[in-house]
Structure 1
Amino acid sequence: MRRVLFIGILQILTGGFLMAQNDQNNPGSNHANKFEQLGSILPTPNEYRTASGAPGPKYWQQRCDYDIKADLDEQALKIIGSETVTYYNNSPNTLTYLWLQLDENQHSSVNNANYQTSSSMPAQVTVQSLQRMEEDKTDNGNGVNITKLKDVLGKPLTYIINKTMMRVELPVPLKPGQKFAFMVDWNYKITDRMARGGRGGYEYFPEEDNYLFTITQWYPRLCVYSDFQGWQNHQFAGRGEFALTFGNFKVQMTVPADHVVGATGECQNYAQVLSPAQLARWKTAQTAKEPVEVVTLAEAKENEKDKAKTKKTWIFHANNVRDFAWTSSRKFVWDAMPAMVEGKKVMCMSFYGKEAYGLYRKYSTKAVAHTIKTYSKFTIPYPYPVAQSVEASNGMEYPMICFNYGRTEKDGTYSEATKYGMIGVIIHEVGHNFFPMIINSDERQWTWMDEGLNTFVEYLTEELWDNKFPSRRGPAWSITDYMKLPKDQLEPIMTNSENIANFGANAYAKPATGLNILRETIMGRELFDYAFKEYARRWAFKHPTPADLFRTMEDASAEDLDWFWRGWFYSTDAVDISLDSVKYARIDFSAQPPKDTMVLQNLAKPQVPAFDDISKIRNRNTDSIRFLTDVDTSLRDFYWRYARGYEPYDSSKYGVAMPSNLEKVDEATKQKYQNAHFYELTFSNKGGLVMPIIIEWTYKDGTKEVDRIPAQVWRYNENKVVKLFMKDKEVAAIKLDPMRETADINESNNSWGQVVPEPSRFQVFKQKQGAARGQSTGINPMQKAETKKGL
């Protein structure tokens, strides 16, 4: 007989909290909903995209090459361009037309996407706003003008423009494996980016009558045609960015002769466009340890004084990129230095005016180098020869070049917010080279695959820049103000970008935070980093979907994460785990175990089926069936007879001894457990989102201990968990999520006992902006310190 040690429990103390209703997918059940597999939510795997998340054996994607000539007319503020486009049909489908993007139509009053929003009567208006309302009634002349569209033989092609999209009819169907080349001539008026917004345009500096041009989404370019959706031809409404096809670019840009040009790719003719001194500095920069000014501050200031009457043509090549952008201005200082990424040299460069010199000269190029090195560690080695940062009071990314903000005050000082905002935006925009310029997701459909993944690695990169870096997005605690908003102000991460109310929080911060929680709290760094690198490796220079990410992360880590994707990405649930009650107990070694007892019992009745089912009846009536107990009568025993009534049933009650299976513990056991303290904790899921339960125990001797319970503890009851713990010391206080790593939106129900008061909170998702993006206002500490020095 197995003996079980007996202990008595006493000294029970209970504390309770109120519970809130928990919204679930299936309100009739309190389990299995949160841990249900994504199943049919994800697309069915096929020969193009496998169930593991990897490209399939028949994966394909299109290619498009461009040969572009562009003329920048600074006086007329106009771009005149011509291009030869060569499109390769690598799909298994025959195409009868092509879709191109005309993104500059965003600025047209007649050909924009016409995604209107609500508006109301203002308390006051500006003249500019009145002019915009008046302008919207007529054709403002902005947008792309197509002046010629023909095939390489000179035959005109039929086309139609629908808002920001252009469909080109193919003269003959384009079969799999074939290519089609055509030529487009076009032009558009460059808009005032500072007044009208947008990613491309000009910034005007009236004090010196100069311009800084950012020429982006500026040429007619092919939409993506893919296996998972066909043509991606959603209209460009200004927010959802770009799904683009990889290819090779040759671009010639004719600009005023005193302009400095930075662009996607490598310049082919520096010897013709730079002065001998500048060319010598460029060569010196190839092996420099610190950034070298190729165009100096003195030269930039001199260029600002007089405008050149002639022009120069800069020629750039870029291979295997999805887009091409450039910048041009006579205001630019240009510095450069190399960075080594796994033995390969990458030229890191920055372009900036005198207004940003005090910040960009010190930080920008080094931030570029730090970014490509760090991202290479977490994803794939940076594959391109160049990485560039341009100060343009902006924040936007393109292959090998990006536009950022960060200017000093006129006295050269700057605020701390300006400094870290500038470094953060440089890291973010340079990081976009990886997401989505290389790992080429569809930004217009799933903004978070671009912005969210990039913001996550930006956070890792900022943390490796400075351990005190004031990162705004990534830490779990910083997303809680957003996640506690009313449900009618929230939408799932998987929402299309044009339909998101709180864009920065939803598309940038929440997915970045989710990945950080996966890395630090759920999977651990080793498993996460391996799986994340595998995703980057699999989908570099390809077109991944969310399913490819989700499946790869699970495939490479052996972690079932469907519960996390479902909760964090497909719902608006929040984390709010409440510590509802605590019961405390000690062992009572003096308690006596129960004694042996006598009970009256009936004998067991024959085990006869309650119903004579059809199979038994048919078996009895089938001549070919003989039962084994009839064939071999030695198998007939007492119970064979008992079941048939040959042995009568005795209904009398008999006394049966029931010995206790408990006994007192021995002295050794008593010594072992005499200092044991037992705590039963009850948790409730008030926010709806399941998450690991992290418990910090503070003992009465001042020491601490942390227990981590995986999220699967909720699988049998998604509303409530009861858990017993044995501790060898008495507990003074209990706190859930002490490092604030699960994004719990209500920390007031996370504690029991003597706890340290929480610090005051601040709003995370409010940002102050000045006239020039990233420039500080008011007196900054640097100015104050300089003032004191002068006293």
Structure 2
Amino acid sequence: MKNVARLCLAAIALAGTLGATAANYDPRETFAPFTYPQPVNAYRSGSGMPGPMFWQNRADYDLAATLDPVKNTLSGKATIHYTNNSPDALDVLWLQLDENRFTADARGNFTAGKTEKRHTDGYRIASVTVGQGDKRAEYVVSDTRMQVRLPEPLAAHGGKVTLTIVYSYDLPGDFGGRTGFAPSKNGNIYEMAQWYPRMCVYDDLRGWDTAPYLNSEFYLEYGDFDYAITVPSNMIVAGSGELVNPDDVLTATQRERLAKARESDSTVMIRTPAEVTDPASRPKTGGTLTWKFRMKNTRDVAFGASTAYVWDAARINLPEGRKALAMSVYPVESVGEKSWGRSTEYLKASVEHFSSKWYPYPYPVAINEAGSAASGMEYPGIVFDPMKAPAKALHMVTAHEIGHTWFPMIVGSDERRNAWMDEGFNTFIDVYEADAFHHGEFAPKRDGEYAPKGGNPVDEILPLLADPNAPPLLMGADMVKETYRHPATYFKAALGLVLLREQIIGPERFDPAFRKYIATWAYKHPTPSDFFRLMESEAGEDLSWFWRGWYANNWQLDMAVTKIDGSSVTVENRDQLVMPATLRVTFDDKSTKDIRVPVETWQQHRSFDVSVPGDRRIVRAEIDPDHVIPDRDRSNNAWPR
């Protein structure tokens, strides 16, 4: 996902803290019974696991499309094999027509602060047919959705239907944001996402989930994809999944180099910069070629196409001896070790790290594609990143975008409604990837809006927590203003997991629980409540106070030391958020002792006297001495002041 403008919040992190007392804290509110957003039922259990009657529908796709780089149009035929595993008979099907986002009257034009001056006419639907006999189906298009009315209801518990749509549309160019094209020295670079009608999800939460495509992302069913892309013969296509007809579209030299790359930990050139303008780097001159790809158990596919691609690749080493292929395609302008020359190294390292630490990468290929129309965007098996990115920024965006393979490509949360469950979770795993890559070459991981000099993230979050207009994380993605989207959806959500892992639960319990969450909900659709319940159940911790304070509200934390009386130290909680913390006491012989103050301290108390064992005289006490929790007022953290 693209970065946004720097967080511009007033310096109000300390507003109202002077003169604050523990009376501002009410434990009855912080520790009240927490109502989870989604209830427990036969479909979703109290442990956060799928229930005994859990079901999920399926959509398999056969796609064929032709890209015309002269007219800048795409024409296609989508055949969708839909399986209804739900307990309900379905008399209609709903699909997403994302290209309608670029029409002049699209709803999304009225949500982003100002309307776009450039438009297309969206999807042109030539025909919609259903079943083996290709019966014409009635349909209605509403903004970015299409309702197809079935001639007879689709049976519950495994009913199947085939839907075929013939369509075309004009490409939106560089204003498309997530799909379009932009120029390079040796030709336009086409970044093609959301390029076919996609099934809406029908689930146990609300039936058809038909949230329109405004500017937030996606919620999609899983299935197998076979797709064919026809382009002029001088173009290279890089697509999600595995290329299944390399003999038709690659030269013998390129096939040999790819075979070498599959056995190499070092990057191998498949198409060199010098070969980009050499007609011999294509298997034929003139006419078109059709590139065929296959991808299994995925929720989407995307591709890039250009005459301008330099191409390199290397082997990815996965758990249990499995292998995959990392590839990068980029224009000659991006060549060099300080730019895209290390892209495949970054891609390979991040996939290997995420696979070993959290869950194995499931696909045969991972691709980093350089352009500018859709750069900074993720799809299964392929990510689009900025062609002008320097080394550090390219490493960061590469790791982040391919990290979306885990959230939400594997763990298929609803990005349209709960963006923090993919952007925040993904930003969280980025933190540790940055530490691991090349002995921390680009560490620590910090998003530029918050810690441009590598500052402490628990300080960087304070203006957001102090802002009365900032949204809670449990809010629909399209309802979050752009000003807050990155600070809340990415940064706060990621910091919440860092706090859970490093301060509240501990890595020894957090890591297995988080891995269990990923494995349990791989290729399924978890809700926020599923995540909350599973983490509690697996980690063995009641975390309702944290879900309420950090996710359901935008509460602040203010802990204080107010007195030393002999062998007793008085600590207070002065605001509505609570956290476990370390109290460090210093004795008159300059030795120190750390005492853990758990969150349970604040279930009944606003102020608490901590007894320090031993007979040495205490000369100083400080709460959170290592500066690891987001305390809004550190002037009261130590005694004496």
Q: Please, what TM-score do these two structures have when normalized by structure 2?
A: 0.90
CA–CA separation in structure 2 for the residues paired with 1:229 and 1:181: 24
Alignment of structure 1 residues 178-217 onto 2, 5 Å:
178-193=159-174, 196-205=175-184, 208=185, 210-217=187-194
Contact in 1 for aligned 2:580/2:599 (Cα 8 Å): yes
1:225 matched to 2:202: yes
- Please state whether the residue corresponding to 1:435 is helix, strand or coil: helix
Contact in 1 for aligned 2:570/2:607 (Cα 8 Å): no
1:34 matched to 2:10: no
Per-residue deviation at 1:362?
A: 4.1
State the match for 2:101 in structure 1.
106
State the match for 2:152 in structure 1.
172
CA–CA separation in structure 2 for the residues paired with 1:728 and 1:453: 47
State the match for 2:478 in structure 1.
498
Alignment of structure 1 residues 72-471 onto 2, 5 Å:
72-116=67-111, 133=117, 140-151=119-130, 152-176=132-156, 177-193=158-174, 196-205=175-184, 208=185, 210-238=187-215, 240-302=216-278, 309-342=286-319, 343-358=321-336, 359=338, 361-393=340-372, 394-405=375-386, 407=388, 418-465=390-437, 466-467=439-440, 469-471=443-445
Could you report, residue by residue, the CA deviation over 1:129-170 in whole angstroms, capped at 9, with x for unpaired residues?
Answer: 9xx55x6xxxx4331111111124132111111101111111
- Please state whether the residue corresponding to 2:28 is helix, strand or coil: coil
Per-residue deviation at 1:391?
A: 1.9
- Please state whether the residue corresponding to 1:434 is helix, strand or coil: helix
- Please state whether the residue corresponding to 1:682 is helix, strand or coil: strand
- RMSD of Structure 2 on Structure 1 (CA): 2.5
Contact in 1 for aligned 2:139/2:148 (Cα 8 Å): yes
State the match for 1:723 in structure 2.
610
Contact in 1 for aligned 2:271/2:281 (Cα 8 Å): no
Unaligned runs of 5+ in 2: 1-16
Per-residue deviation at 1:236?
A: 0.7
* Structure 2 residue identity aligned to 1:467: G
CA–CA separation in structure 1 for the residues paired with 2:618 and 2:310: 62
Relative distance call for 1:316 and 1:563 in structure 2 (3 A) is: same
Could you report, residue by residue, the CA deviation over 1:295-348 in whole angstroms, capped at 9, with x for unpaired residues?
Answer: 112112547999964221100011110001000111111111112211111111
* Structure 1 residue identity aligned to 2:427: T
* Structure 2 residue identity aligned to 1:723: V
Per-residue deviation at 1:574?
A: 1.6
State the match for 1:526 in structure 2.
508
Contact in 2 for aligned 1:257/1:311 (Cα 8 Å): yes
Relative distance call for 1:492 and 1:480 in structure 2 (3 A) is: farther
1:735 matched to 2:622: yes
CA–CA separation in structure 1 for the residues paired with 2:522 and 2:303: 24
Unaligned runs of 5+ in 1: 1-15, 25-29, 120-128, 409-417, 586-677, 755-791
Per-residue deviation at 1:352?
A: 1.3
- Please state whether the residue corresponding to 1:98 is helix, strand or coil: strand
State the match for 2:574 in structure 1.
685
- Please state whether the residue corresponding to 1:69 is helix, strand or coil: strand
CA–CA separation in structure 2 for the residues paired with 1:530 and 1:47: 25
- Please state whether the residue corresponding to 2:256 is helix, strand or coil: helix
Relative distance call for 1:303 and 1:743 in structure 2 (3 A) is: farther
Per-residue deviation at 1:406?
A: 5.3
* Structure 2 residue identity aligned to 1:260: I
CA–CA separation in structure 1 for the residues paired with 2:263 and 2:639: 60
Per-residue deviation at 1:732?
A: 4.8
1:575 matched to 2:557: yes
Q: Who wins on radius of gyration, i.e. which is larger?
A: 1
- Please state whether the residue corresponding to 2:532 is helix, strand or coil: helix
- Please state whether the residue corresponding to 2:276 is helix, strand or coil: helix
Relative distance call for 1:492 and 1:286 in structure 2 (3 A) is: same
CA–CA separation in structure 1 for the residues paired with 2:268 and 2:392: 23
Count of residue pairs the alignment pairs up: 608
Q: Please, what TM-score do these two structures have when normalized by structure 1?
A: 0.73
State the match for 1:18 in structure 2.
19
Contact in 1 for aligned 2:38/2:527 (Cα 8 Å): no
Could you report, residue by residue, the CA deviation over 1:376-398 in whole angstroms, capped at 9, with x for unpaired residues?
Answer: 23332222111111122411111
* Structure 2 residue identity aligned to 1:575: L
Contact in 2 for aligned 1:285/1:338 (Cα 8 Å): yes
Relative distance call for 1:301 and 1:478 in structure 2 (3 A) is: farther
Contact in 2 for aligned 1:304/1:330 (Cα 8 Å): no
- Please state whether the residue corresponding to 1:54 is helix, strand or coil: coil
State the match for 2:636 in structure 1.
749
Contact in 1 for aligned 2:472/2:553 (Cα 8 Å): yes
Per-residue deviation at 1:706?
A: 2.8
CA–CA separation in structure 2 for the residues paired with 1:464 and 1:508: 21
Relative distance call for 1:700 and 1:74 in structure 2 (3 A) is: farther
Per-residue deviation at 1:48?
A: 1.1
Contact in 2 for aligned 1:479/1:509 (Cα 8 Å): no
Per-residue deviation at 1:478?
A: 1.6
Contact in 1 for aligned 2:44/2:54 (Cα 8 Å): yes
Could you report, residue by residue, the CA deviation over 1:202-245 in whole angstroms, capped at 9, with x for unpaired residues?
Answer: 1123xx4610111001110101111112111101111x210000
State the match for 1:763 in structure 2.
none
